[in-house]
Structure 1
Amino acid sequence: MSEKKGLPIHSMTGYASRRVDAEERASFTMSLKSVNHRFFDLQLRLPQGCDALEGQLRRMLKEQIHRGHVEFSLTLERQTRTGLYFNDEQIAAYVAAFRDCVARHGLESEPDLNEVLRVPGMMTSTQSNSRDEAVMLEAPVMAELAYLIASFNAVRAEEGSALVAELRASMQRLDAAAVEVAELRESVRTANYERLRARIAELTDGLGVSEDRLLSEAALMADRSDVEEELVRLRTHVASLLTMLDEGGPVGKRLDFLLQELNREANTLLSKTGGATAQNGLRITELGLEMKVEIERAREQIQNLE
């Protein structure tokens, strides 16, 4: 069960942010946050006019993050300039509509500039164009996104490493319990055999059943309550799980499936040994319950892995 170095295993919980001071017009801040989710679920919070940038962000984030509810936000910090600025496009549209109305009704009139400038949005204290800003931001945002993802994954890898260490410890305890059960198994199997043989003999007393038949039936029933196959499969699953941890990468879903198989073997082991009354039989039941505890503890850790 030696630990090998493979790909990093990430937790699905992480956070990172990055602020960039731009030379032109606006600085910006990006942040990434993620929590547990069965699939990859991405939510973007972007300024107005970033439709083209949205597609690029989705592609890059999906390539680098495999699972979790992920929130990406981009916030602009516009530089404030002193003065008042006219919204030329909106003023021109107002004047054109005014003159069209005058012509339609045969009137003689010109728009009053004072009235025009009282309309909301005709003047502003900052000079900006959200669409132009969004276009200008595409290149710097995509360039900085790689650094943001690297920081984000570093946080997730650190937490993932701690979760993996706990998982390894759980698997070692689980395997040790399986080894102890294997050592006790034969004595319990023999005790079960003798108990069943005596019980069958008592029930068939006077019916003329041969000793060989009694021995055969008792052996068959004892085999049915034996847990050797469950132990072999359980230890095989533990070894497979540790191999997955060694290889690393986005293994959360596969580990979760393997935990279900481990739980199934532990349940079968308990069902087969539930009626054991010998001292070793009771100890096997205790160990089976300990296995269940370790499997549940491991399952809680795996729910946090990508």
Structure 2
Amino acid sequence: MGKAIASMTGFARAEGEFAGTNWSWELKSVNGKNLEVRCRVPNGYEALDAFARSTFARHFKRGNFHVGLVIDNAQKAVKLQVNEEILQQVIPLATRVSNDLDAVAPSVDGILNLRGVLELVEEEESPEDSEQRLKLIEESLSVAITRMEEMRRIEGTRMAEVAQGHIDEIERLQKKAGDLSATQPDALQARFMKQMAELLKDGSPVPEERLAQEIAILVTKADIREELDRLAAHVAAARDLLNQGGPCGRRLDFLCQEFNREANTLCSKSSDVALTTLGIDLKATIEQLREQIQNIE
């Protein structure tokens, strides 16, 4: 067995904390023809968008990814600070009103209780702490990606087993079709002779050479040996891809198209009810295989 088969669907989370800042990454992926990463990060963290895209490109080949980062600064250190601009407006106004009304001058605590005079501000973060926090957030994304890869591998292994079962069934039906096709020439000849007998009830003679030619043409048109040989070759190719592993979904999807083409031709050439029924079963199994591999990377 080669590399692991990976699904294109998955989910993963990773969290972290540094100096009162908490964060969490959330990753979701679904199937897609190519690699597409949609990243949502808070204001001030736009640089992480490019980092995320380049990191995903190193780990994945296909899939639509939705990446979200949530930042919580609720635990970050804060301090009280006087808003000097508002204070310089409040003091003259309070003094003037006190004089106009001949009232007691405003107290310090009264002024400080006015809205906007005192404000909570986050403490200045050193460049070293800011760089360290960004580095840890990037490391958390790598952890989430590793978890995503593991989930996709687990799901991919299950899908590969199911796909292998469908391929085994295709092979079984292909061999059974070979057994049925061996009886087609005799059945075609018997049917043709019966039809000719009905048409020639008046006793008009038909050259045996002409009859032989017509029968040969019918048998040639109904010959499905090439289709059966190609089906067998496609079965072997599909098994090789599953054994090799890695990102093989696109090639398996192409093989499904080839499987379906041969099954359609087989049904169109069939002159036997049993062979036609088998061809329909074959097409149904191929569709089941296709549905599985749509989610393989």
TM-score normalized by the length of structure 2: 0.81
Q: Secondary structure of the residue that 1:50 maps to in structure 2? A: coil
Relative to structure 1, the CA distance from residue 195 to residue 84 in structure 2 (aligned partners, 3 Å threshold; closer, same or farther) is: same
- Residue of structure 2 equivalent to 1:55: 50
Could you tell me which amino acid in structure 2 is paired with residue 234 of structure 1? L
Q: Give the counterpart of 1:160 among 156, 160, 170.
A: 156
Cα displacement (A) at 1:137 = 3.1
Question: What's the secondary structure of 2:172's corresponding residue?
Answer: helix
User: 1:200–1:218: 8 Å Cα contact kept in structure 2?
Assistant: no
Whole-angstrom distance in 2 between the partners of 1:120 and 1:221: 96
**What's the offset of the Cα at 1:282?**
2.1
- Segment of structure 1 superposing worse, 24-33 or 7-16: 24-33
Counterpart of 1:190?
186
Aligned to 1:295: 286
The 3-state SS of whatever aligns with 2:276 is: helix
Q: How many residues align?
A: 275
Question: Sequence identity of aligned pairs in percent?
Answer: 32
User: How far is 1:216 from its partner?
Assistant: 1.9
Give, in whole Å, the separation in 1 of the partners of 2:130 and 2:36: 24
For 1:153 and 1:10, locate their aligned partners in 2 and report how far apart those are by CA, in whole Å: 8
Q: In 2 relative to 1, CA 253–286 (structure 1 residues): closer, same or farther, beyond 3 Å?
A: same
Q: Is the 8 A contact 1:201 1:214 kept in 2?
A: no
Deviates more, 1:216-225 or 1:165-174: 216-225
> Structure 1's 155 and 213: CA in aligned 2 closer, same or farther, altered over 3 A?
same
CA distance in 1 between counterparts of 2:124 and 2:34 reads 39
2:242 maps to what in 1? 245
Cα distance between partner residues in 2 of 1:121 and 1:253: 64
For the 8 Å contact 1:197–1:215, the answer to whether it is kept is no
What residue in structure 1 maps to residue 24 of structure 2? Answer: 29
1:18 and 1:30 in contact (8 A); partners too? yes
For 1:112, the equivalent position in structure 2 comes to 89
Partner residue in 2 for 1:142: 138
SS at match of 2:182: helix
Aligned amino acid, residue 167 of structure 1: A
The correspondence for 1:77, drawn from 68, 72, 80, is 72
Q: Residue 144 of structure 1: CA displacement?
A: 3.1
Q: Which amino acid aligns with 1:241?
A: A
* Mapped pair 1:223 → 2:200: no
Structure 1 residue 173: Cα displacement: 0.7
Structure 1 unaligned segments of length 5 or more: list them. 96-109
CA distance in structure 2 between the partners assigned to 1:119 and 1:133 by the alignment: 32
Q: Give the Å deviation of 1:36.
A: 2.2
1:148-198 per-residue CA deviation (whole Å, 9 max, x = no partner) reads 211111111111111111110011011101101101211122211332355
**CA displacement 1:195-215 (0-9 Å, x = unmatched):** 235545765787764212221
Return the offset for 1:7. 1.1
CA RMSD of aligned residues (A): 3.1
What is the rounded CA distance, in whole Å, between the counterparts of 2:281 and 2:180 in structure 1? Answer: 15
Normalising by structure 1, we get a TM-score of 0.79
Please list, as runs of the form range in 1=range in 2, the aligned pairs for 1:193-272 lying within 5 A after superposition.
Answer: 193-200=189-196, 203=199, 209-272=206-269
**Deviation at 1:134?**
6.3
Which of 171, 176, 180 is matched with 1:175 structurally? 171
Note the C-alpha offset of 1:236: 1.1
Which one has the largest radius of gyration? 2
